[in-house]
Amino acid sequence: MSESSQHQHVSFDISGGSTHDDELNGYRNYYAPLSQTINSDHQTSPSTSPDSERDIHHVISQPQQPPPLQSSSSYYAQQQQQQQQQQQSALNKNAVDQYGGLSMSHTNEIIDQSKSHDAEQVVESSENKRYVRLNTLLGKGAYKIVYKAIDREEGYEVAWNTMQSAPKDLEHEIDILKSVRHPNIIAFHDAWYQKNEFVFITELMTSGTLREYIRKLSLPNNKIVKRWSRQILKGLVYLHGYNPPIIHRDIKCDNIFINGAHGEVKIGDMGTAEMKMGKKYTIIGTPEFMAPEMYEEQGYSEKVDIYAFGMCLLEMATGEYPYGECRNPAQVYKKVSAGVKPACLTTIQNPEVLSIIENCLGPEESRLSAQEILEHTFLAVEPDVVLLAADPTHVHLTLQVVFKGLDKLSVKFDFNGETDTAEQVVREMIEEQVLPERYQHHITKEINRILRDLDKPTEPEKEAHARHSIWRRDTDARPESEVQSELESVRMELDRVTEHAREIESKCDGFEGLARNAESRYREAMRNLRELQERHKIELEAAKSSPTTGHGSPFEDQQQQMPTNNISTSPPIEVEKLERDTPIEMNSPSARDALVSHILEEYSDDTDIEVFVQDCARASHRNADKAHEWIKKLQNQDIMTVGDLRDLHDEDWAGIGLTVFALRALKNMLKGKKLAGQNITTSGAYISGTGTNTPASSAPPSARLTPP
**Hey, which residues are catalytic here?**
250
Q: Which residues are at the interface with ligand ATP (CB under 6 A)?
A: 2, 4, 8-9, 138-144, 146, 159, 186, 202-205, 208-209, 254-255, 257, 268-269
Cα–Cα distance measured from residue 677 to residue 675, given in angstroms and rounded to the nearest whole number: 6
Contact 621, 585 (CB under 8 A): yes
For residue 585, count CB atoms less than 10 angstroms from its CB and return exposed for 0-12, middle for 13-18, buried for 19 or more. middle
Contact 128, 120 (CB under 8 A): no
Instruction: Compute, in degrees rounded to 10, the torsion defined by CA atoms 657, 663, 666, 670.
Output: 110
- Pick between residue 205 and residue 662 the one whose CB is nearest to ligand ATP: 205
Cis amide prior to 571 (ω within 30 degrees): no
Q: What is the 3-state secondary structure (H, E, C) of 364-399?
A: HHHCCCHHHHHCCCCCCCCCEEEEEEECCCCCEEEE
Bridge partners, 148 (sequence order):
159
For residue 215, count CB atoms less than 10 angstroms from its CB and return exposed for 0-12, middle for 13-18, buried for 19 or more. middle
For residue 446, count CB atoms less than 10 angstroms from its CB and return exposed for 0-12, middle for 13-18, buried for 19 or more. buried
Provide the angle, in degrees to the nearest 10, between the axes of the packed helices 210-217 and 303-318: 20
| Beta carbons within 8 Å of 463's beta carbon, 6+ residues apart | none
- Pick between residue 87 and residue 255 the one whose CB is nearest to ligand ATP: 255
- Pick between residue 7 and residue 335 the one whose CB is nearest to ligand ATP: 7
- Smallest gap from residue 77 Cβ to ligand ATP (A): 17
Round to the nearest angstrom and report the end-to-end CA distance of the chain.
93
- Smallest gap from residue 70 Cβ to ligand ATP (A): 11
Question: What three-state secondary structure class fits 283?
Answer: coil
- Smallest gap from residue 146 Cβ to ligand ATP (A): 4
Instruction: Compute, in degrees rounded to 10, the torsion defined by CA atoms 456, 458, 464, 470.
Output: 50
- Smallest gap from residue 62 Cβ to ligand ATP (A): 16
Cα–Cα distance measured from residue 640 to residue 610, given in angstroms and rounded to the nearest whole number: 8
- Smallest gap from residue 390 Cβ to ligand ATP (A): 48
Neighbouring C-beta atoms of residue 479, cutoff 10 Å = 8
- Residue whose CB is nearest to ligand ATP in the complex, by number: 141
- Pick between residue 308 and residue 435 the one whose CB is nearest to ligand ATP: 308
DSSP run (H or E) holding 501: helix 480-545
| Beta carbons within 8 Å of 636's beta carbon, 6+ residues apart | 657
